[in-house]
Amino acid sequence: MEFWSRLFRDKLAVIGLIIVLSFFLLSIFTPLISPYDPNLIDVDNILAPPSTAHLLGTDDLGRDLLSRMLFGAGISLKVGFVAVGIAVIIGVILGSVSGYYGGWIDIIIMRLVDIMLCFPSFFLILAVIAFMEPSIFNIMAVIGFTSWMGITRLVRAEFLTLKERDFVLAEKTMGASSLRIIFIHVLPNAMAPVLVSATLGVASAVLVESALSFLGIGVQPPTPSWGNILTQGQNVLGIAWWLSFFPGMAILITVLGYNLLGEGIRDAIDPRLKG
């Protein structure tokens, strides 16, 4: 209860929450509120500017931009949530094992983390995706499997502190198994920084997906994505500004929303971190 009270007192966090919920609801109800089929070609309205018939204009095939952006929101958020989910699962498991057991297990896992961090994440994703068929499922997997290192470090740091607490020592003296101690008693108390990292991670995943789609190795047309809509827009930027402006603003607002919410959650969990 105190957490929610602190969160709602933070005006920027509330703005972020409103943005996140708005895009989430739009992605859920897209089939109901989309004015057109996102892949419906209309040769009579090619590159039509924003109007009452097409609120955000049309693209180079006459497809309604608003409809494509609504469906693109679902794609981008789906990639973000699934990719972060994969990263959280890997990071939590490795961080828990590393922090709890220590010793050579900790050394191996931390060296693996260091090796992964040696490579710039976006270029690592580019290198991996170049050898795979571009698809939304491959993008989710690649982003998730290359984004777990920070979460691993956060969970490990929490475990190093929590495993010395009295309640853990009491469980050990009572004969509780290591798995029970890790997942029932210690892990729930170590999830606060993971929640913050996951929230911020969704923003990063949306950015990466948009960048990959913009480069042509992400979500493939005709499936709408904010990134591939931007790709279409760059070719006609001088005569159809709306094809670049609206997807760009959608990406900006979404990323801003998740960042504001993530910072607000961090401050609500531990007000001492605010500054």
Residue 42: CB atoms within 10 A of its CB come to 16
Range of the domain at 6: 2-45+55-273
With respect to residue 104, please indicate whether it lies within any of the assigned structural domains: yes
Residue 116: CB atoms within 10 A of its CB come to 16
With respect to residue 227, please indicate whether it lies within any of the assigned structural domains: yes
With respect to residue 141, please indicate whether it lies within any of the assigned structural domains: yes
- Residue 247's pLDDT is 92
With respect to residue 50, please indicate whether it lies within any of the assigned structural domains: no
Residue 176: CB atoms within 10 A of its CB come to 15
pLDDT bucket at 1, cuts 50 / 70 / 90:
low
- Residue 271's pLDDT is 58
pLDDT bucket at 102, cuts 50 / 70 / 90:
confident
Domain CATH code at residue 238: 1.10.3720.10
Taking residues 82-105, report their average pLDDT.
92
Cα 264 to Cα 260: distance, rounded to the nearest angstrom:
6
Supply φ then ψ for residue 57, to 5 degrees.
85, -170
With respect to residue 17, please indicate whether it lies within any of the assigned structural domains: yes
Q: Quote the tokens at residue 80.
A: 């973000």
> How many domains in the chain?
1
The 10s digit of each residue's pLDDT in 159-192 is 988 888 888 888 888 887 888 888 888 888 888 8
User: Which of 78, 47, 66, 107 minimizes the C-alpha distance to 202?
Assistant: 78
